[in-house]
Amino acid sequence: MTDKNCIFCRILAGEIPATKIYEDDKMLVFKDIEPKAEVHLLAIPKDHFKLLSEADETRAEILKHMLLKIPQIAKDNGCGNGYRLVINQGDDAGQTVFHLHIHILGGEILPW
């Protein structure tokens, strides 16, 4: 499922350019255009859904796949000493793109 108004769906469709880091049949990882750390990647499912609360069994399998792939992607991109994963959920959490995504932050010591 895609949403023609979603910027991440448009990246997936090739309508908007992105610096792709990794892609398979379930997910895409690309560089964030407004990085908050030396390494700031976004991992998105190819299936459009907005929030974790919308995850059914199929989407849970996609999320599992993503979480199993992220450690190697992080390591391959300069996060060998550690990284942070962030999933913002809703307006109050600062979610600005309503397509579930996982921020991968690292490449430096991260303050909290």
> Is residue 101 flagged as an active site residue?
yes
The pLDDT of residue 69 = 98
Active-site residue identified among 48, 99, 101, 103: 101
| Per-residue exposure over 76-92, b if at least 16 CB sit within 10 Å of its own CB, e if not | ebebeeebeeeebeeee
* pLDDT tens profile 79-90: 999 999 999 999
pLDDT at residue 16 greater than cutoff 90: yes
| 31-69: pLDDT as tens digits | 999 999 999 999 999 999 999 999 999 999 999 999 999
Residues contacting 2, CB < 8 A, separation 6+:
9, 12, 13, 48
Q: What is the pLDDT of residue 112?
A: 86
Look at residue 3 in the predicted model and tell me its pLDDT. Answer: 86
